[in-house]
Amino acid sequence: MKTRKLGALEVSEIGFGDMELTPGPYGLGIERPEGLRVIRDAYEQGVRFFDTAEVYGPYLNEELVGEALAPVRDQVKIATKFGFAIDGTNRLDSRPERIRRVVEESLKRLRTDRIDLFYQHRVDPSVPIEDVAGTVKDLIQQGKVLHFGLSEPSATTLRRAHAVQPVTAVQTEYSIIERSVERNGVLDTCEELGVGFVPWGPLGQGFLSGRMDVNVQSTMDQENDLRAHFPRFSPMVMQNNQPIIAFLAKFGAAWGATPAQMALAWLMARKPWIVPIPGTTKIDHLRENLGAVRIELTPTDLRELETGLARLEIYGGRMDANQMAQIGQD
């Protein structure tokens, strides 16, 4: 496992998204001992960058990550997030006083004295981004936070925040089937400002693993898995997007690579400051994902991939209207 730079923060070239291990947007998670085992196996396989959030669980995910990584805390970088009210609604709350309270609580749950990367989980339109950045700047000066991040901002919001406190990383959904950051200026702005980029959902929220049946939506937890209501996973869209999986499988045959590995290798080949954070509850899937580091796509490979993908239509939107309403648009 090599390393990459998100701004001035050095991390492993692939990180691990811990969200699925506890109750969260994709279901009820797994038993705690198994969750600990998955995180520790990721570390043993070379992962040194772990992503969590206050809202996952809520709180349970940070506690799990804190326990799993306590013995190796100084060898890893931990990212967590603030910004949801956690009051039974989907309401946002990035008031400075709440940010200051969250950092203290997250430090305790993570069993640490500093947070390596502290993201605003979603941009709160009721709080000026300058106030958010200024609050995190104070926390950095106090040593409680080392780096500032934004999740799902617009390019304009990123610039405004960066002018107050340099942003180390932006986290937004990005994959072969979700490329809006290439069109809305976010990726270009990251490059211009020297900000790292962390794709969440680098496997299309699971679709690009190639393991999902076209009727997968009917098997999802209708109450606890948001994907059960996302257009991307409806039977018709799943069926229409199967040529993407077939293409990745065929293209990856030369490397003996799976569609998931090709999807991750594609992201890493896009820019040296892109660090995907695939998540999973299964160790065999974890190790498959990490196998992507052995695939180093050349510029010629990338052109061939792009040419093939350009012939394929991609169906289905990212998320439902409720979730999309919180994505930076200005």
Residue 154 near residue 189, CB atoms below 8 Å: no
CA–CA separation, 3 vs 10, rounded Å? Answer: 6
The CA–CA distances, whole Å, from 62 to 70, 118, 154 equal: 12, 13, 27
CB neighbours of residue 12 within 10 Å: 23
User: Which of 39, 120, 41 has its CA nearest to residue 79?
Assistant: 120
User: Which of 36, 97, 28, 104 has its CA nearest to residue 65?
Assistant: 36
CA–CA separation, 294 vs 257, rounded Å? Answer: 10
The CA–CA distances, whole Å, from 153 to 4, 24, 135, 307 equal: 22, 21, 17, 29
Query: Among 56, 59, 119, 174, which one carries the catalytic annotation?
Result: 56
Confirm whether 43 is a catalytic residue: no
Phi-psi region of 111 (alpha: psi -120 to 50; beta: other; left: phi over 0): left
Residue 137 near residue 144, CB atoms below 8 Å: no
Q: Which amino acid belongs to residue 125? A: P
User: Which of 20, 27, 48 has its CA nearest to residue 278?
Assistant: 20
- Which contacts qualify for 100-103: CB closer than 8 Å, 24 or more apart? 100/135, 100/139, 102/54, 103/139, 103/144, 103/145
CA–CA separation, 290 vs 301, rounded Å? Answer: 20
CA–CA separation, 282 vs 20, rounded Å? Answer: 10
User: Which are the catalytic amino acids?
Assistant: 56
